[in-house]
Chain A
C-alpha cells in the first residue's frame, strides 16, 4: 500500500469512529467507540470496581472522590501501589486539576467484603464554609462504609483524610444526599427494625462532628410492626433544599419503581414517630412506574422552559424529573431499564411524558456481555449542563449524552464506550451448566464538573475516563 493510500485509510478511521452497529464483543487493544465525545484523561483507579464519582473544587484544585464496590472473587483486596499493601476497596481520591493527567492521591480502604457486601460505594462532599456549623477550613466527605455505616471525613488535605464521625449499626447503606447549604442529610440504609432493606434516616449534619438524628422515613408499610406487602426498597433521594421544598425519593432498581414527591418542610418538622399517618403526612404525591422498572435516580429539573411550548398560553415551563432505572442482570435477562422523563408540573398528577434508551441493535449490546441498560445519570446541577444535557451511564453501551432541552423529545447527541483493558473483569452467565464469560465495559456511574468535563467510572474495574464534548453535543451545551 502506498503512503498516500495509508494516509487516506488513516483519515477515514479518524474521521469516522468505529460504528457500534458493526461492533461486537470488545477486545483488549481495540479503540474506544465514540461520537461527539473525546477522551481527555484516564486513571485505572487501582482496578477497583467503581460506583459514585463526585468532583469537588477545593481552592484552585479539582478533586475527584470515587466510591468503590467490594473486591471480586478473583481479587478480593487489590494491592494499593502507593502503599504496596492489599487493601479492601474503599474510596479513591484523585487530583483532576489537569484532567489530561489525573494524579491518584489516596486510597481510603472500605469495609472488607466482595461486590456489594464491601467497599464504600457512595460519596458526597460539602465545604465547611457552606455548612451552617462547619469548620470553615474543612472539606467534609460523607461516605458509606460497606453496608454497615456512614462516615464523615475531613478531606481538606485530600491526600490525608481524617475520620471525624461514624453512624453505624445499619445495613445496606447506599445512595445518600447531603444539602451543603443546610447540612440536612438523607442517609440511605436499613435500620435494624424496619421491614425494608433500605429506607431514609434523616440527620442534621450541619456540624459534621456532632450528627443529630431527625427522623426515620419510608413508604407506609415499611415501618416496624407493619404487616402485608413490603413496599419497594428505597434507592436514593435528591432534595431541592429549602427553596424548592421538595425531596424526590426513588424506590426500586429494576422493578417496582416508585417516585415519591415529598414536602421537605413537613418531612423535617412533622411528627417523627414512624406511624403510618406520620409517614404519609409529608407525601405530596407519587408516581408508580410499571413494575418492570425501578427508580434508581430521580433527578429534578424544576421550572424548565420548553421552547416548543413558548407560545402556548399555559405550560411554557414544566417541572421535570428525569428518572433512571438500573439494569442489574447480565445479557438482557430482564426488562429494559432506561430513562424516563416525568412532568410534575401539576404535582397531584405526575405523568411520564417521554423515554429514551440506547437502541440495542446499534451495538448488539445484549450479546456483548455484562449488563446492558441504564444505571444512573450525572447529578451535578452546575449551570454548564443543567436542564440542557444529561449524561447517562449505560453499562456496556458506555455513557450517552442526551440533549434534554425539550424533555418531551430527548435526543442523543454523543456517546463514548471506553476500550477495555487487561484489568477489565469478566461477566458470566451459565449455559448448559457451564460459565460463559465475556469481557465488556460496564459504565456504572457518571458525573460532571463545573468546567464541563464528564467523568465515567467502570463497574468492571476499568477505571475512570475523563471526557469532553465535541461537535453537536458541544453546541447543545453552549460550550465554545
Chain B
C-alpha cells in the first residue's frame, strides 16, 4: 500500500469517526461546493510568526494548511490532548476568541497522527460559524489544517478531508517536511 493509499484509507476512517463524534453546529452557511473544483487561493491571513501556508477553496469551503516546525508540545506523544490542539491550532486566524464546540478526537493522516477539534468562531460582522482545527505531527513538527465552511453538511467535510488526502496537499506536506 503506498503512502497516498494509506492517507486516503485512514482519512476516510477518521472522517467517519470524526463526523459522528464531533457533531455539527446549527448556523452554518449554505453549501455552494457541489461539483466545483478545488482551486489554490492566496493565503488570506496577515503575516505572523509562521510561514504562510497553502489555502484552497471550493465554493464556500476553505481549507488552510501549513507546517509549524518544532512546535509540538511533546515530541514523543504528539498531539494527544484537546488543550494541545487549542494551543497550536490556526483557528485564531479566523477569530482570536474562538471557543471549542466539542471535545476533540484522535485522527490519523497517513503516517501522521494527531487530533481534531470543532470550534465556534465569530465573524467580523457578527454571527458565529464552526470551523475544524486539525493538528498532526511528525516528531517535533506539526502540520496544522483548518476547515472552514458549512460544517453542517457532511458532504462538505467529506470533501475537505478528501482534499487533504489528495496529491496536491499531500505532496505539498511532504515537501514541507522534507528537510526534517
Contacts and interface: CB of A to CB of B under 8 A. Distances in A.
Interface of A: 113, 115-117, 172, 195-197, 227-230, 254-256, 291-292, 328-329, 333-334, 429-433
A480 to B, nearest CB: 45
Contacts of B48: 291
Given A195-B83, A429-B179, A334 B99 contact: no
Contacts of A230: 86-87
Interface in B153-180: 178-180
Interface string B72-115: 01111000000100110000100111111000000000000000
21 contacts: A113-B76, A115-B75, A117-B74, A195-B87, A196-B87, A197-B73, A197-B87, A227-B98, A228-B92, A228-B97, A229-B97, A229-B98, A230-B86, A230-B87, A255-B49, A256-B49, A291-B48, A329-B69, A333-B179, A430-B179, A431-B179
Contact of B180 (A291, A430, A432): A430
A333 B86 contact: no
B23 interface: no
B85 to A, nearest CB: 10
A329 B178 CA distance: 14
Interface of B: 48-50, 69-71, 73-76, 83, 86-87, 92, 95-100, 178-180
Contacts of A116: 75
Interface of A is mostly: loop
Contacts of B178: 430, 432-433
A433 B75 CA distance: 20
Contacts of A429: 179-180
Contacts of B74: 117
Contacts of A227: 97-100
Contacts of A115: 75
Interface of B is mostly: loop
Give the interface centre of B50, B70, B96, B100 by most chain A CB atoms within 10 Å. Answer: B70
Contacts of B179: 333, 429-431
Contacts of A172: 73
A432 B174 CA distance: 11
B70 A328 contact: yes
Contact of A228 (B50, B71, B73, B96): B96
B100 to A, nearest CB: 7
Nearest to B95: A228
7 interchain residue pairs of minimum CB distance: A291-B49, A255-B49, A229-B92, A228-B97, A230-B87, A227-B99, A229-B96
A329 B96 contact: no
A432 B180 CA distance: 10
Contacts of A229: 92, 96-98
Contacts of A334: 69-70
Nearest to B174: A433
A430 B92 CA distance: 31
A294 to B, nearest CB: 9
Nearest to B93: A229
Contacts of B99: 227-228
Give the interface centre of A197, A431, A432 by most chain B CB atoms within 10 Å. Answer: A197
Contacts of A113: 76
A460 to B, nearest CB: 17
A291 B49 CA distance: 5
A53 to B, nearest CB: 24
A291 B180 CA distance: 22
Contacts of B49: 255-256, 291-292
Contacts of B75: 115-117
Contacts of A256: 49
A41 B98 CA distance: 55
Contacts of A333: 69, 179
A292 B47 CA distance: 10
A329 B70 contact: yes
Give the interface centre of A116, A228, A333 by most chain B CB atoms within 10 Å. Answer: A228
Contacts of B180: 429-430
B179 to A, nearest CB: 5
A43 to B, nearest CB: 29
A117 B70 contact: no
Contacts of A255: 49-50, 71
Contacts of B71: 255
A328 B49 CA distance: 14
B178 to A, nearest CB: 6
A252 to B, nearest CB: 9
Contact of B76 (A117, A228, A433): A117
B45 to A, nearest CB: 12
Contacts of A292: 49
Contact of A195 (B86, B96, B98): B86
Contacts of B86: 195, 230
Nearest to B84: A197
A398 to B, nearest CB: 23
Contacts of A254: 70
A172 B75 CA distance: 12
Nearest to A436: B179
